[in-house]
Amino acid sequence: MLLAIDVGNRVMSIGIYDGKQLKAEWSTATDRRKTYDEYGLLFRDLLEHQGFRREDLTAAAITSSVPPVVPTLEWMCQKYFDLKPLVVGPGVRTGMVIRYDNPREVASDRIVIAAAAYEKYGGPLIVVDFGTATIFDVVSRSGEYLGGVIAPGITISVEALFSQAAKLPRIELVRPQTVLARNTIHAMQSGVIFGFAGQVEELVERLQQELGPAAEGIKVIATGDMADLIVGEVGCVTAVDPYLALEGLRLIYERNQTRGER
């Protein structure tokens, strides 16, 4: 079985794959201060709680937008599971041609998600990842990674309002019944939910205009831990797929195995 680890700035997603089947999935806070022993005990407890044994794991793959956490997780995999993980980065076969000014600048999780989306949905497509940042990635009909857009994410935008504006409270992120608000909390909820929905619609439309004929039949796939909050207000989204990062890790791990290797 494959242990897949997607390290985000706020949340770490963990999956167990038996072949192509996702057998279990967990989320935990990303903590740069944790040692590999602390992570090892956490992972061991999660596995045991779901009935998995350490011996069930035969491989591991990691993608991370938090580089300092990667060595810690590598040591954890080696000490607690006797595995040398595949860390997605330069030199790893992803199956995608990257049309970026400097391909090494593209965060590995963006390529992992784009590869999974193309494998599952075909191209052309736009993947909208709702995480710490809201990221739009564009993949061509032939599977080339063309680039994208990075915008502030929902959570950090709300936290910025709370921390920088003395009279604005911390709010629960839920959809208000109306756009026009008559109290401060509803006004903030309206601005966040409908404002980010409008951002998605506008950026998707502009990307399609720039792509021109190459955008014919384009699909828009939403992923990330905040996707469900916004996509109900967005008409252009084709599908919501919360496990694209984990699926991409499985896919890229398979592409990097030599023929006949387990």
Quick one: 259 exposed, middle or buried, by C-beta within 10 A (0-12, 13-18, 19+)?
exposed
- Both structure tokens of 70: 């990667």
Closest by alpha carbon to 55, among 83, 19, 35?
A: 83
Does 109 participate in catalysis according to the annotation? yes
Neighbours of 47 (CB within 10 A): 22
Neighbours of 38 (CB within 10 A): 13
The residue behind tokens 């290797």 is 261
DSSP string, 70-122: HHHHHHHHHHHH---PEEPSTTS--S--B-SSSGGGS-HHHHHHHHHHHHHH-
**Residue tagged active-site, from 6, 31, 101, 109:** 109
* Beta carbons of 143 and 123 less than 8 angstroms apart: yes
Neighbours of 203 (CB within 10 A): 18
User: Would you please indicate which residues are annotated as catalytic (active-site) residues?
Assistant: 109
